[in-house]
Amino acid sequence: MSDIVFVDNLVKRYGSMLALDHLGMTVRGGEIFGLLGPNGSGKTTAINCILQLLTYDKGTIELFGEPMTPTRYDLKRRIGVVPQNVAVFDELTVRQNVDYFCGLYVPERARRKELVAEALEFVGLEDYERALPKKLSGGLQRRLNIACGIAHKPQLAFFDEPTVAVDPQSRASILEGIKRMNRAGMTVVYTSHYMEEVEEICSRIMIMDHGKTLAIGTNDELKAQVKVGERIRIDLGAVPGGLLADVRALASVRSAQVDEGALVVVCENGSHNVADVLGVLRRHRAVPGRIWAEPPTLNDVFLEITGRELRD
């Protein structure tokens, strides 16, 4: 697949603050590309620069192999945008809103009518098409926000944290919708600070912080970059003396600590980490309660790269 989005050496300053620090990224056609980072990491700034909503100090931005400028309406017509906040006309009905935003890309009225109907069906708002946005619940407003961004069936869509302040049911619906659009051929750039969402839907992920690219790759590739292979948590009634030292002495263990009556052990990749830790417990005659063993998360990746939690 050819590159749909190409960003190189992008620099954006707000006064003395460096919002984007020589950022680079490439989005391939047909993928769901995740931009993951904590709040204020520069995700939205990067998207706004790509969309030419912001001037930038330095860098190259190309969409569909063409340089992107504020007046490249031919490129803009191939793009859909779902902003972080619900951005619709309060005075227009659901249908009128979708029709308006679709009309910014599709001038033919008959074609637009079909697309609007499809978009409303896609987000499940057919029964609300005559309602004003303020009469809709938060989740339905988010769906309207999405319908306005994708009604014209763009080749490339930017979703900027579309699930913020959304109930779990609507969130699941939104994520499933994005996956369906992607299956239909749409390339998606998805920003979020929810690592679970990014892990669930994105084929490639870029982790960024302080305007810089920290890591980029598939979910597995990113996790393979970190030494954390497994996180084991074992409930213990009591922690015998010397247990913690013996666990830490195991070859694959990177760290071990007691947290609220539970032994938490972070191990490197290995096929019998749990068995090794349980063997130490047996030697100390400690009786294990419940046991959890989790593979590494993107938070572990972020933690290892930055030294702090993604949600800090």
Partner 1 sequence: MLVTFRAVFVSLMRNPGLLVWAVGLPLALSTMFIFMFDSLERNDAMGELPVVVVRGEGAGGAAEDGFGGLAAGWSDAGSFAGSVDDEGAFLRFVEAVSADGDPDGDGLLSVTYASSAEEAQRLVADSQGGDDAFVGYIAFEGGQPRAYLYPTTETVADLAKQSIVVLLLDQYVSRASLVRGIVQSDPMLLADGRLIATMTDPFEATERISVTQNPLSEKVRYYFALLGFAALSCATMGLTAVLGLRGCSGPLGARRAVGGVSHSRALLGTLLASWAASFLCLLAVFLFMSLTVDFGDRVLGCLAVLLVASLTAVSLGCAVAVIPKLPDSTRAGIITAVTCMAALFTGLYGQPTMELADRIARAVPASTLVNPAAQIAEAFYGLLYYDSFAPTLGHLAILLAMCAVLFALSARALRRQRYASL
Report the interface residues with partner 1, using CB under 8 A: 14, 44-45, 48, 51-55, 70-71, 73, 76-77, 79, 81, 83-92, 96, 99-101, 103-105, 107, 148-149, 152
Closest contact distance (angstroms) between CB of 277 and partner 1 is: 47
d(CA 97, CA 93): 6
Cβ proximity of 155 and 176 under 8 Å: no
| 111-116 long-range Cβ contacts below 8 angstroms, 24+ apart | 115/151, 115/152, 115/153, 116/151
Q: Quick one: residue 250, left, alpha or beta (phi over 0 = left, psi -120 to 50 = alpha)?
A: beta
Return the number of the residue (14 or 292) whose C-beta is nearest partner 1: 14
Closest contact distance (angstroms) between CB of 52 and partner 1 is: 8
Closest contact distance (angstroms) between CB of 20 and partner 1 is: 11
d(CA 269, CA 197): 24
Residues 6+ apart with CB under 8 A from 300: 223, 226, 228, 231
Return the number of the residue (15 or 241) whose C-beta is nearest partner 1: 15
Closest contact distance (angstroms) between CB of 8 and partner 1 is: 21
d(CA 74, CA 205): 28
Q: Which two tokens stand for residue 153?
A: 């069936």
Return the number of the residue (111 or 283) whose C-beta is nearest partner 1: 111
Cβ proximity of 280 and 243 under 8 Å: yes
d(CA 85, CA 67): 28
Return the number of the residue (97 or 273) whose C-beta is nearest partner 1: 97
Return the number of the residue (70 or 289) whose C-beta is nearest partner 1: 70
Closest contact distance (angstroms) between CB of 149 and partner 1 is: 8
Closest contact distance (angstroms) between CB of 301 and partner 1 is: 26
Return the number of the residue (104 or 287) whose C-beta is nearest partner 1: 104
Closest CA to 179 of 132, 148, 214, 146: 146
Q: For residue 101, count other CB atoms closer than 10 A to its CB.
A: 25
Return the number of the residue (78 or 204) whose C-beta is nearest partner 1: 78
Closest contact distance (angstroms) between CB of 214 and partner 1 is: 21
How many residues appear in the chain? 312
